[in-house]
Chain A
């Protein structure tokens, strides 16, 4: 027909494509082979060959290594002019590779390496390159990473970089990298005097940032990046290292210490020094459960001399060298034990999720989040933030409300139900500890709280009576071994299958484990290490139904006077 084009059929096209591909593959493979055969010869022909392959596939890390070796070699051989030309081609080549794959680890790394070696790198050009790549994909974190490197090398003022993050957030606020960069730049821009905790912002800056991020989550509450930044804004730096509690027991001739973070004492820099009545005493530190791993709680045996009754009192001081912290406690004559500890109520130990910012800021954040929650009753980020804000403000006052929000949150986010249960357990436990301390008792009631997990056990060093009944616990975890003063433990009506934590508890006398899921006597093995255990309730466990259980248990726990099955 007139004017009609003759065009290859799709089969012909496919065949042509296939041949072309085959040809490409052949070239690629033969070039790769040649490079590997040349191993050791570091001349420009390697550069040429590798550039052919990397140009097609910039993610071939070995070849980038080849190139680095060659370039290092050539640095020594070439004149400065030749070298400059070489670097220029290399930079151009790198850019073309980045265009093939803007997220190539190898290529960005090679560029970093190259720029780091140049006597006079052109940082302005690199910044411009980053801006261009971020123009195309504002969330390319490889490029963000490189930009931070360049900005640091070129000493770009943080204010300029902040303005850059502004411009990208304006375009699309769903940008983790940009928000993250802000969190690095703002503390640099507004260094706080020594008094304030590290990484905090002055209030006016904080308020501006909060407004910005609120704009983001009111616009799109499902975008996580803004919520994460919000959390950072309100969060606080890690608490300072401290010795939370020191306890000396005359009976057990034992000193127990609780630290603000888990450490592995004895390894490298982490050492605990003990002085008794101002003279140092060498002791062996161990964890309550006997396992050598980082732990909040460490203890040591004391020699009889340091506990004798000749002096009116003994003073024990523990120095945590790495944490630059120490604590002292006194054991008076005639007393069984002595201790010294920081109170959870004073130190706001449990508010570490959110900051110690002025409560007015937190309060107004809570108001906005509640406003948003009214519009978006099912937004999980909003619900979670409300819970965290309430805890930061006043955990006990808001306890009831918090629990309701947890219920809603669990309903809208069933995928994370287990996580939420654990979080809720943690908060409830914290509240109970606070209540106990206000009441100034050593008895902790945690019954009927729907707990799924036990945490903060290192805070319970002094507790003598613990009630865990009617919860959803599946284990008494190893950390429970930290409760060195525990005398009575009730854990009826749970789903306990493991008793790893009920081990070497020196004062435990009575243990109730009715209606749990203990299905065989060997599970009770850890109890054998509790010297004073006299009464054990096991009614309503599967193992009770088995024949010969009583005999088996008597054999396993010979020192326990009465075992009720």
Chain B
């Protein structure tokens, strides 16, 4: 299939992370011929989401130290003309480091006792045992179907592969990953019944589990692997943020569905508590006194238009935000709420930045619900794919598992002319967009990367119990001493379609100072307790129990100036990987900036035209005729999700 790829494009994009995918959609939408490649077998790069077994395979790939043999450079050397030179790309991704996996859930019914003991003594030894045999490819593909069986809740959810215009790259499928995530639509349809059967069994098992706190075993997690959609990056969408605006404006929102984050939490004096942040929250709060309610509302109302009242903060512009808050009569708990849970800033941040962050938070309230954030169902990894789909709808061509050997640069003009892929095909284009992790060590030798520390936990209870167990919460745990970073905790419930019933998926994120485990373990210990067999009946055990934990560091390539890269031709543009921030503003800004640099006169992701307004060749008079066109199809299958996004908001102030 690959050798049938066209050889002429306007734009070649390497990497399917969020900024690249947005750019792909924007280019394709403005009429460019787009080729979008990824060397991996899945969409999203470091923005991807994985099922549980998918994540295990992903981990395995990073742990098997670069044994992929270097293909001989000779195969493509011959394709380079004399007037040209090659810039080689990186062969192996090196953005993920310090992976550590801990399994606390009992491994099996028979041998659980010994196993848990073994775990406690030497947790890191588990890695090998968790990522091995039981997951043979047959069982994985079965589970595939169950995922698609649930897909009906989300009409536009199916992956870009099912769209007619996307060319499907299914080469040597020895890796099960490709199959599980992107199987063709045919298989999906006729195996739905299998999926149903698959689902019924575990439910029966659930019912036979009598204890109040459901005991989830490791084998259950593996069995329900498909219920998990584990994000590599943990982000949320600000309701008035750039990404939401872009999703709505470009109509890409129709491909995704969202849930409102339900709670903003705070960790104070060793306790997790809910932060009242909207008017309704403040009104309903049982924790705040009347006077606190007034003081908090007054301060928040002021923050909404703080620019209009310079007299109230001018004297404090030199102070830190936390010092400023102390002057505002806010009680200590309110100060904590505003600083860590609403502004979500470090204590040292300036008054103006704190006010700005607070305003941004408040501005986002009430548009879709009582908190400022949305979370995409099935995980953040959906978002890049939605943009890819948009790109494909407008004619973009997609190839996964497609490596690029080198960029071909014309010596005279210094411009990049083509790429040479792993099959030795030379593909010409005018512009090239490359994700940072694809650039070789040589290109990046002067670049200073930051790191993100990440932890992914599967737990059995919420960190703050409430009437409903279906809560999506965000919590910022301030650093114990100043100088270190605050840790952001996002807890997802099963209705976000990212974890199985009776479990919670918890993401921890901070910018790294050490390895991920060293950075995050103390917070994990504060909030959770490891699962052990012996303690199961004790009632006083109130903290949620850890069933499984993963730590890793991810490279943060955001904020790197173009000039730090060595010898990049002027028509090669670099997109960064995920940043550490909570929102997606960096990715959207980067995509828009690059797009405008490349195509200064084109509009960035304009709304797609109404189907009635599209003129087809030869039938100007009857525009609504053929229903076979892709665009019309896409328009018609608009999802509930997009409707959701367009609903008008109620704001903090009536």
Measured CB to CB, the residues of A under 8 A from B are: 1-8, 12-13, 16, 170-174, 214-216, 218-221, 223, 368, 371-372, 375-376
CA distance in complex: A6, B619 (Å): 12
Of the candidates A171, A219, A371, the one whose C-beta lies within 8 Å of that of B297 is A219
Inter-chain contact B614/A7, CB cutoff 8 Å: yes
The answer to whether B395 touches A371 (Cβ under 8 A) is no
Measured between C-beta atoms, what is the minimum distance from A217 to chain B in Å?
9
Q: Which chain B positions have C-beta within 8 A of A12?
A: 613
Could you name 8 residue pairs across A and B whose Cβ atoms are closer than 8 Å?
A3-B33, A3-B395, A215-B283, A218-B294, A218-B297, A372-B290, A375-B291, A375-B295
Verify B631–A218 contact, CB threshold 8 A.
Answer: no
The CA-CA distance from A214 to B283 in the complex, in Å, is: 9
Q: Are A13 and B290 in contact (CB under 8 A)?
A: no
Q: Quick one: closest B residue to A13, CB to CB? A: B613
The docked-state distance in angstroms from the alpha carbon of A239 to that of B267 is 55
Chain A residues in 8 Å Cβ range of B294: 218-219, 221, 372, 375-376
- By beta carbon, the residue of chain B nearest A138 is B650
The closest CB in chain B to the CB of A137 belongs to: B650
* Chain B residues, Cβ within 8 Å of A371: 290-291
Give CA–CA (A457, B613) in the complex, Å. 74
A456 to B149, CA, bound (A): 77
A3-B28 contact given A215-B283, A218-B290, A375-B291, CB 8 Å threshold? yes
Considering residues B283, B291, B650, which has the most beta carbons from chain A within 10 angstroms of its beta carbon? B283
The residue among A8, A12, A173, A371 with the most chain B CB atoms within 10 A of its own CB is A8
Residues on A with C-beta less than 8 A from B291 are 218, 371, 375
Is B77 interfacial (CB-CB < 8 Å)? no
B152 interface residue per 8 A CB criterion: no
**Other-chain residue from A6, A13, A171 in contact with B280 (beta carbon distance below 8 A):** A171
Among B31, B279, B282, B615, the residue within 8 A (CB) of A3 is B31
Chain A residues near B613 (CB, 8 Å)?
7-8, 12-13
How many interface contacts (CB-CB < 8 Å) are there between A and B? 74
Which positions 303-359 of chain B face chain A at CB distance < 8 Å? none
Q: Give the CA-CA distance A2 to B294 in the complex, in Å.
A: 60
Chain B contributes a number of interface residues (CB within 8 A of A) equal to 29
Is there contact, CB below 8 Å, between A5 and B290?
no
CB distance from B165 to the nearest CB of A (A): 10
Least CB separation from A221: chain B residue? B294
Question: Does the CB pair B31–A1 fall under 8 Å?
Answer: yes
Q: From DSSP, what is the main secondary structure of chain B's interface residues? A: helix
Note all chain B residues with C-beta closer than 8 A to A221: 294
B615 touching A2, Cβ below 8 Å: no
Asked whether any CB of chain A lies closer than 8 Å to the CB of B284, the reply is: yes
Whether A215 touches B614, Cβ cut-off 8 Å, given contacts A172-B280, A220-B297, is no
Contacts of B297 in A (CB 8 A): 218-220
A8 with B283: CB separation less than 8 A: no
CB distance from B450 to the nearest CB of A (A): 38
Which 3 A-B pairs give the minimum distances between C-beta atoms? Answer: A4-B31, A3-B395, A6-B615
Q: Given the complex, which residues of B lie within 8 Å of A4, measured CB to CB?
A: 31
Is the beta-carbon distance between A219 and B282 smaller than 8 angstroms?
yes
Contact A7 B28 (CB under 8 A): no
Interface residues of B in 247-304 (CB under 8 A from A): 279-280, 282-284, 290-291, 293-295, 297-298
Contact mask B19-33 → A, CB, 8 Å, 1/0? 000000000100111
For residue A10, give the distance in angstroms from its CB to the closest CB of chain B: 10
Question: Across the two chains, which residue of chain A brings its CB closest to B28?
Answer: A3
Which of the residues A8, A171, A215 comes within 8 Å of B290, measured between beta carbons?
A: A215
Separation of A164 and B68 alpha carbons in the complex (Å)? 64
In the complex with contacts A8-B613, A218-B294, A376-B294, A3-B394 CB distance below 8 A: yes
- Find out whether the CB atom of B280 lies under 8 angstroms from the CB atom of A170: yes
Encode contact with A along B443-485: 1 for CB under 8 Å, 0 otherwise.
0000000000000000000000000000000000000000000
Q: Are A214 and B290 within 8 A (Cβ)? A: yes
Q: A12-B613, A372-B294 are in contact. List 6 more A-B contacts (CB 8 A).
A: A170-B284, A215-B284, A221-B294, A372-B290, A375-B295, A375-B298
Report yes or no: B650 in contact with A172, Cβ–Cβ below 8 A.
yes
- Interfacial chain B residues near A5, Cβ < 8 Å: 609, 614, 631
Which of A2, A13, A173, A375 touches B283 (beta carbons < 8 Å)? Answer: A173
Closest to A214 in B: B290
Are A218 and B293 within 8 A (Cβ)?
A: yes
Q: Is the CB of A8 within 8 A of B615?
A: yes
With both beta carbons as reference points, the residue of chain B lying nearest to A173 in the complex is identified as B283
Q: What residues of B have a CB within 8 angstroms of the CB of A372 in the complex?
A: 290, 294
| Interchain CA distance A204-B458 in the complex, whole Å | 46
Chain B residue at minimal CB-CB distance from A6: B615
User: Which A residue's beta carbon lies closest to that of B616?
Assistant: A6
Q: Is the CB of B284 within 8 A of A7?
A: no
**Which residue of chain A has its CB nearest to the CB of B285?**
A215
Chain B 596-614 near chain A by CB (<8 Å), digits 1 or 0: 0000000000000100111
Separation of A173 and B279 alpha carbons in the complex (Å): 9
Cβ of B200: which chain A residues have Cβ within 8 Å of it? Answer: none
B615:A216 contact, CB within 8 angstroms: no
Shortest distance between the CB of A174 and any CB in chain B (Å)? 6
In the complex, B654 has a CB within 8 A of chain A? yes
In the assembly, what is the distance between CA of A552 and CA of B610, in Å? 85
Interface string of B119-156 (1 = CB under 8 A from A): 00000000000000000000000000000000000000
Per the bound structure, the CA–CA distance linking A16 and B609 in Å amounts to 15
Task: Give the CA-CA distance A74 to B607 in the complex, in Å.
Answer: 50
A-facing residues in B1-60 (Cβ within 8 Å): 28, 31-33
What's the minimum C-beta distance from B268 to chain A, rounded to whole angstroms? Answer: 21
Closest CB of chain B to A484's CB: distance in Å? 52
Q: Which residues of B contact A7 (CB under 8 A)?
A: 609, 613-615
Bound-state Cα–Cα, A6 to B609, Å:
9
- The 8 A CB mask of B642-654 against A (1 = contact, 0 = none) is 0000000010001
Task: Using CB atoms, name the residue of chain A closest to B329.
Answer: A375
User: Given contacts A3-B31, A371-B291, are A220 and B279 in contact (CB under 8 A)?
Assistant: yes
How far, in Å, is B198 (CB) from chain A's closest CB? 36
Cα A219 to Cα B291 with chains together (Å)? 9
The complex places the Cα of A215 from the Cα of B293 at a distance, in Å, of 8
| Chain B positions within 8 Å of A375 at CB level | 291, 294-295, 298
A174 to B280, CA, bound (A): 10
Contact (Cβ within 8 A) A173 B280: yes
In the complex, A16→B622 CA distance in Å? 12
Q: How far is the CA of A136 from the CA of B31 in the complex (A)?
A: 40
Shortest beta-carbon distance, A122 to chain B, in Å? Answer: 28
Given A371-B291, A375-B291, do A216 and B283 touch, yes or no (CB 8 Å)? Answer: yes
Residues of chain A contacted by B616 (CB below 8 angstroms): 6
Which residues of chain B are within 8 angstroms of A368 by Cβ–Cβ distance? 290
A2 and B33 contacting across the interface, CB-CB below 8 Å? yes
User: How many whole Å from A403's CB to the nearest CB in chain B?
Assistant: 26
Q: Residue of B at shortest CB range from A12?
A: B613
> How far apart are the CA atoms of A2 and B395 in the complex, in Å?
9
Assembly CA distance A221 to B297 (angstroms): 10
User: In the complex, what residue of chain A is closest to B613 when comparing beta carbons?
Assistant: A8
Q: How far is the CA of A481 from the CA of B97 in the complex (A)?
A: 96
Within 8 A of A (CB), among B573-619: 609, 612-617
Q: How far is the CA of A371 from the CA of B295 in the complex (A)?
A: 12
Q: Which residue of A lies closest to B631 (CB)?
A: A5
A4→B30 CA distance, assembly (Å) = 7
Q: List residues of chain A with CB within 8 A of the CB of B623.
A: 8
Q: Which of B283, B614, B650 is in CB contact (< 8 Å) with A219?
A: B283
Complex Cα gap A307–B394 (Å): 106
Closest to B297 in A: A219
Which residues of chain B have C-beta atoms less than 8 A from A220's C-beta? 279, 283, 297
CB distance from A533 to the nearest CB of B (A): 58
* A16 closest partner in B (C-beta): B612
| Distance between Cα atoms of A174 and B284 in the complex (Å) | 13
Nearest to B609 among chain A residues (CB) is A7
Minimum CB–CB distance from A502 to chain B (whole Å) comes to 50
B451 to chain A, nearest CB (A): 40
In the complex, which residues of chain B have a beta carbon less than 8 angstroms from the beta carbon of A376?
294, 298
For A1, the closest partner residue in chain B by CB is B31
- B610–chain A nearest beta-carbon distance, Å: 8
- Beta-carbon nearest neighbor of A136 in chain B: B647
